[in-house]
Structure 1
Amino acid sequence: MSAAARAHNPMPVLAGAVLVVMAAQQAIVPVLAPLARDLELPEWSLGLLMTSAAVMFTLTSSPWGRAVDRVGHRTVLLSGLSLGLVGMTGFAIVCQLAVSGVISGELGMALMIGTRSLLFGVAMGAVPTAAMAWVAANTSTTQERVKGLAQIGAVQGLAQALGPASGFVLAFAGFLGPVWAAPAVIAFALVAVAVLLPKGPSRRARAAAAAEAEQAEAAAPSKPLRPWDPRLWPVMLGGFGSFLTLGLVVVCVGFVVQDRLGYEGADAVRMTGLVSTVVGLVMVTMQAFVVPRLGWPPWRMLRSGIPLVALGAAGLMVADTLVLVTACMAVLAVGMGTVGPGYVSAPTLLVGPAEQGRVAGLVQTVTGSTFMIGPLGGSALYGINDWLPFAVGTGICVAGAIFVWTRKGPGETATAPAPQPELAPDPS
Structure 2
Amino acid sequence: MARTGKASLMVIFVTVFIDLLGFGIIMPLLPRYGKHFIVDDASGFKLGLLMASFSAMQFLFAPIWGRVSDRVGRRPILMLGLAGSTISYALFGLATGWDPDTVVLGLSPLAWLFATRIGAGIAGATIPTAQAYIADVTDIKNRGKGMAMIGAAFGIGFTFGPLIGAFSVGDNPEAPPSSMPGYVASAMSGLALLFAFFKLPESLNPDSNAVHRGWLNVSALIPAITRPSIGPILLTIFLSTVAFAQLESTLALLTEHFGLSQQDNFYVFAYIGVLLMLSQGLLIRRLLPRVGEKRMAIAGVFMMVAGLLAIGWIAEGGTLTQMYLILPLSVIGFSALNPSIQSLLSLRSAESDQGGILGIGQSMSSIARILGPIIGIVLFESEVTFPYWCSAGIMFLAGLLVLFIKPARSEDVGTPEPVEPVEAT
CA distance in 2, matches of 1:412, 1:333: 33
Q: Which residue in the other structure is 1:190 paired with?
A: 193
Structure 2 unaligned spans of 5+: 172-176, 419-425
1:56 aligns with 2:57: yes
CA distance in 2, matches of 1:365, 1:234: 15
1:286 aligns with 2:279: yes
Amino acid paired to 2:69: V
Equivalent residue runs for 1:113-192 within 5 Å? 113-115=114-116, 117-126=117-126, 128-141=127-140, 143-172=141-170, 175-192=178-195
Q: Which residue in the other structure is 1:299 paired with?
A: 294
Work out whether residues 161 and 281 of structure 1, in 8 Å CA contact, stay in contact via their aligned partners in 2: yes
CA distance in 2, matches of 1:22, 1:252: 21
Structure 1 unaligned spans of 5+: 421-428
| Shift in alpha-carbon separation, 1:51–1:37, aligned structure 2, 3 A | closer
Amino acid paired to 2:319: T
Q: Which residue in the other structure is 1:356 paired with?
A: 354
| Shift in alpha-carbon separation, 1:323–1:51, aligned structure 2, 3 A | same
Q: Which residue in the other structure is 1:228 paired with?
A: 225
CA distance in 2, matches of 1:103, 1:411: 62
Instruction: Give the paired residue count.
Output: 399
CA distance in 2, matches of 1:50, 1:106: 19
Q: Taking structure 2 as the reference length, what is the TM-score of the superposition?
A: 0.86
CA distance in 1, matches of 2:77, 2:115: 21
CA distance in 2, matches of 1:411, 1:251: 39
Q: Which residue in the other structure is 1:107 paired with?
A: 108
| Shift in alpha-carbon separation, 1:314–1:406, aligned structure 2, 3 A | same
Of 404-413 and 171-180, deviating more is 404-413
Post-superposition Cα deviations, 1:394-420, rounded to whole Å, max 9, x if no partner, equal 001112222222443449997672489
Task: Give 1:53 shift.
Answer: 0.9
Task: Give 1:278 shift.
Answer: 1.4
CA distance in 2, matches of 1:327, 1:416: 41
CA distance in 2, matches of 1:106, 1:72: 36
Amino acid paired to 1:273: F
Task: Give 1:358 shift.
Answer: 2.1
Post-superposition Cα deviations, 1:202-224, rounded to whole Å, max 9, x if no partner, equal xxx52x3116x57xx8xxx9963
Q: Which residue in the other structure is 1:88 paired with?
A: 89
Task: Give 1:131 shift.
Answer: 1.4
Task: Give 1:72 shift.
Answer: 1.1
Task: Give 1:366 shift.
Answer: 1.4
| Shift in alpha-carbon separation, 1:346–1:331, aligned structure 2, 3 A | same
Work out whether residues 38 and 47 of structure 2, in 8 Å CA contact, stay in contact via their aligned partners in 1: no
Q: Which residue in the other structure is 2:304 paired with?
A: 309
Picking from 269, 275, 296, the partner of 1:276 is 269
Equivalent residue runs for 1:269-418 within 5 Å? 269-294=262-287, 295=289, 296-319=291-314, 320-410=318-408, 417-418=415-416
Q: Which residue in the other structure is 1:423 paired with?
A: none
Work out whether residues 36 and 43 of structure 1, in 8 Å CA contact, stay in contact via their aligned partners in 2: no
| Shift in alpha-carbon separation, 1:139–1:12, aligned structure 2, 3 A | closer
| Shift in alpha-carbon separation, 1:199–1:154, aligned structure 2, 3 A | closer
| Shift in alpha-carbon separation, 1:413–1:249, aligned structure 2, 3 A | farther
Task: Give 1:233 shift.
Answer: 1.6
Task: Give 1:106 shift.
Answer: 8.2
| Shift in alpha-carbon separation, 1:411–1:85, aligned structure 2, 3 A | farther
Post-superposition Cα deviations, 1:315-334, rounded to whole Å, max 9, x if no partner, equal 11121111112222221100
Amino acid paired to 1:179: G
| Shift in alpha-carbon separation, 1:169–1:354, aligned structure 2, 3 A | same
Of 224-233 and 378-387, deviating more is 224-233
CA distance in 2, matches of 1:38, 1:145: 45
3-state SS of paired residue (1:251):
helix
CA distance in 2, matches of 1:303, 1:75: 42
Work out whether residues 133 and 203 of structure 2, in 8 Å CA contact, stay in contact via their aligned partners in 1: no
Work out whether residues 297 and 411 of structure 1, in 8 Å CA contact, stay in contact via their aligned partners in 2: no
| Shift in alpha-carbon separation, 1:40–1:77, aligned structure 2, 3 A | closer
3-state SS of paired residue (1:172):
coil
Task: Give 1:393 shift.
Answer: 0.1
Of 73-82 and 131-140, deviating more is 131-140
CA distance in 2, matches of 1:339, 1:229: 22
Work out whether residues 51 and 376 of structure 1, in 8 Å CA contact, stay in contact via their aligned partners in 2: yes
Post-superposition Cα deviations, 1:362-397, rounded to whole Å, max 9, x if no partner, equal 232111111100111111111111111111000011
Q: Which residue in the other structure is 1:425 paired with?
A: none
CA distance in 2, matches of 1:180, 1:245: 31
Amino acid paired to 1:224: A
CA distance in 2, matches of 1:308, 1:411: 28
CA distance in 2, matches of 1:180, 1:417: 46
CA distance in 2, matches of 1:412, 1:30: 45
Of 275-284 and 37-46, deviating more is 37-46
